[in-house]
Amino acid sequence: MYKSIDLYNQLASNKKFKKSVNFGLKRIKLALTLLGHPEKKLKNVISVIGESGKFTTLTSLKSFIEANKKSVTAHISPSLRDIKERFYIGNRYLSHKEIKKTIKLIEKLNVPLTIFECLTLVYIINASKINADYNIQETGALWRLDSNNIHDFPRVQICTNINKQHLNFLKIKTLDEVVKEDVGFLSNFTNIYIGKQSPYVLKKIKFYLKNNRSKITFPNSWQLIKKGNFFYYQDKKTKIALNTKKIHSKGMLENVCLAIKIALDLNISKKAIKKTLPKLSFEGRFQYLDKGKIKKRLQKNEVIMIDGAHATADAKNLADYLKNIKIPKYGIWAMTKNKEPDLFIKQFKGVFKKVVTMPIENEFNSVSSNELYKIAVKNKFKVEKSNNFIEALKKISSKEKKIIVCFGSLYNCGNILNKN
């Protein structure tokens, strides 16, 4: 069986596809023309745009739609355990055989695509075959020139949290420019939903959308409210208890609320939403490993959690959650390149008793353990470095009661889950 990283690295080593980030729509539009425009067969397209919160919003909305007895496809990026997780096509994921067959078809086009463009085409080609009721696409970085921005009349465009996450590998240098690239080029004939934002970003969003003719729903149209120990979704007409046992982050609950608002507007029943909420979970996001091989390696007083947060805004959500846990916290930190490791780790000042750095195994884009170690030292963390996850775990595990948090990379979380 091909694991995600095996098939992905095969694709990365394929000279017909570029590993580097290279924004633009000409290549993918040429490929779609040569394929006979399969994207035009997708109905009720929903585009999920932004820097943080796309996966949780998409997963929630997909689950609500399916609970309402409607069919759905989804393009998810990145994958966690296995590359096939990127391609949800009508109640199932594509097989490795189907993915490889589609890649061979794309190779024959002889269009100099990037890896991300190739993966986008894998989704579109296969989604176009089943006539699903809804088709949800998670974008990469920056909407204007993203390879998912190829639909003339999308049903819905969702803008989740916008932040500086992708600045390090983009030509643009300011948050204002990120907002412009993400929302300044949204469709004029769709339904736009804006997720929770910082005051500065929300002000900029309103500026760039002032002449947009779409129906725009801003985040003040719904709210996440807390009464005692319980959270609720509420808008002018509806109140729904968020009966979710596996969601620990306020930020993720806000994304669930955004998905509820959209689902209600799509005439998804409250019954379907309420039925789905207790089942919602987001693998690799605030996930406790309560059983498996890794749990067995721990002492009785230790618990372990993985979280793929890699943006500074997500790091703050994780840090805020951990601050409310009264036992000692230890971190195992890994990250891919083109992020903001210095700003990222600063969010955990005073949170971790010790941090152990590690590289992401089998990931060509990993930051080295030594480089992360130097950044942690500079920020005055108590820190050690390791060569792999098992070594990092050994440097932390003891009889002391504690929570061990593996953080900084979804790819690393996927590797850890595959070891479990």
pLDDT in tens, 135-176: 999 998 788 888 999 999 999 999 999 988 766 666 778 999
The two structure tokens encoding residue 147 = 């390879």
Q: Does residue 242 have a pLDDT over 50?
A: yes
- The per-residue pLDDT for 237 is 95
- Is 68:96 a contact under the CB 8 Å cutoff? no
- The per-residue pLDDT for 3 is 46
In order of 51, 153, 230, 233, 254, the CA distances from 224 in angstroms are: 21, 31, 10, 5, 6
Domains annotated on the chain, with CATH: 4-279 (3.40.1190.10), 287-419 (3.90.190.20)
Q: In this predicted model, what pLDDT tens digit does every residue of 324-360 receive, in sequence order?
A: 999 999 999 999 987 889 999 999 999 999 999 999 9
The two structure tokens encoding residue 347 = 């969010």
Interval 301-316 mean pLDDT: 90
Residue 296, classified by CB atoms within 10 Å of its CB into exposed (0-12), middle (13-18) or buried (19+), is exposed
CA 56 – CA 73 distance, rounded (Å): 15
Between residues 280 and 166, the one the model is more confident about: 280
Interval 212-235 mean pLDDT: 95
The predicted model scores a pTM of 0.91
- The per-residue pLDDT for 2 is 38
CA 395 – CA 70 distance, rounded (Å): 49
